[in-house]
Amino acid sequence: MNTGQYSCPRCHSQLTVPEGSIGITCPDCGHYISLSGTMRQHRLLPIALLMILATILSVLIWVLVVDETPRASDNPSNSHTSEINLSIYGAPRASWLTPKLFTLWEIHPDDSVRVVKLLTQSGAEDSTVSIDSTLLRSSDDVLHADMINGQLRYQSVQEQQGTRLRYTLLASDDQFGYDMLVNNLPHLHTKHVHRLLSVGYDPESYYAQRIDAVAIPRSAKILDIYDHEPYRHLVIGDWDIFYYDTTDISRHVSIHIRYELGEDASPLDWAEVEAQR
């Protein structure tokens, strides 16, 4: 029933509506007011208010849920989660079989690369052995090189399939090799803002095991790992270490890691890295 007090929408005068009236003319401004339409507006108003409140509540819930979602930046121990999946928990593949080859690629922000190459060969102790360096653009790009478990007798330049240095040494252990720092490494592409390490391998029947470990500072942003996949990822100190096994490959494969530069880190203990292979 249309009874009670109403306000004129034109002059805002307060009107007393007689019981049973379906409309009233404002005595002040002469505006006619249909009470049936006014009642519909009054009935719809609570419904509209409820819809607005429900919308506001839904937005608040969504904001709270999104805000509580864990982000990679909330966990400093796993700073790469938002970039790529680093959950590579393969078992170590250390082997007593010989001969075996282990290579560490320790990549620094100034684009120099520390290369540690270790060859384990039964009966090598007290023998004269040879081991070749990684591929070089020029022998002048070797900033320094130290022999591991051996006394250097002489070195020569090998030009087959690119430039390499061949170190001939008197081994003091069955495991021997070198620890060198290289500038302008052909495997490291630096033409763009991003860096790309690309190391290729062909099938090799000589080695009973062939393992590579690529070390990149934790502060670097790793963008992509593709082609031949690592079987193991470890964090050692301020380094991400990716282990690759190329022992039983049946075709040419390449290790590819694309990353953005970070801050430098202290050199690794190569023996610790090799022991985790």
Contact 178, 148 (CB under 8 A): yes
pLDDT at 222 over 70: yes
Task: Output the CA–CA distances (angstroms, integers) from residue 229 to 180, 213, 232, 235, in the order listed.
Answer: 26, 12, 9, 17
Exposed, middle or buried: residue 66 (CB in 10 Å: 0-12, 13-18, 19+)? exposed
The answer regarding whether domain 100-275 maps to CATH 2.60.40 reads yes
The residue among 86 and 112 whose pLDDT is bigger is 112
Count of residues for the chain? 277
The tens digit of pLDDT for each residue in 225-277 reads 999 999 999 999 999 999 999 999 999 999 999 999 999 999 999 999 999 99
More confident position, 125 or 82: 125
Task: Give the span between the Cα atoms of 270 and 102, in whole angstroms.
Answer: 10
Reported as a single tens digit per residue, the pLDDT across 161-190 is: 789 999 999 999 999 999 999 999 999 999
Is the pTM for the entire model greater than 0.85?
Answer: no
Domain boundaries along the sequence of the chain: 4-67, 100-275
- Backbone φ/ψ region at 118: left (φ over 0), alpha (ψ -120 to 50), beta: beta
E strand or H helix at 64: helix 35-67
**CA–CA distances in Å: residue 129 to residues 94, 119, 233:** 23, 10, 32
Reading the block at residue 67, the tokens are: 């805000």
How far is CA 272 from each of CA 178, 222, 234, rounded to the nearest angstrom? 16, 23, 11
Q: In whole angstroms, what is the distance from residue 27 CA to residue 49 CA?
A: 32
What would the two tokens of residue 201 be?
């391998």
pLDDT at position 193 is: 82
In percent, the amount of the chain with pLDDT more than 90 equals 62
Instruction: Convert the pLDDT of each residue in 208-217 to its tens digit.
Output: 999 999 999 9
Provide the pLDDT confidence category of residue 38 given band limits of 50, 70 and 90: very low
Is pLDDT above 50 for 62? no
Instruction: Name the helix (H) or strand (E) containing 96.
Output: none
Q: What is the mean pLDDT of residues 138-157?
A: 96
* Type of residue numbered 74: D
Structure-token match 């007290």, residue found? 126
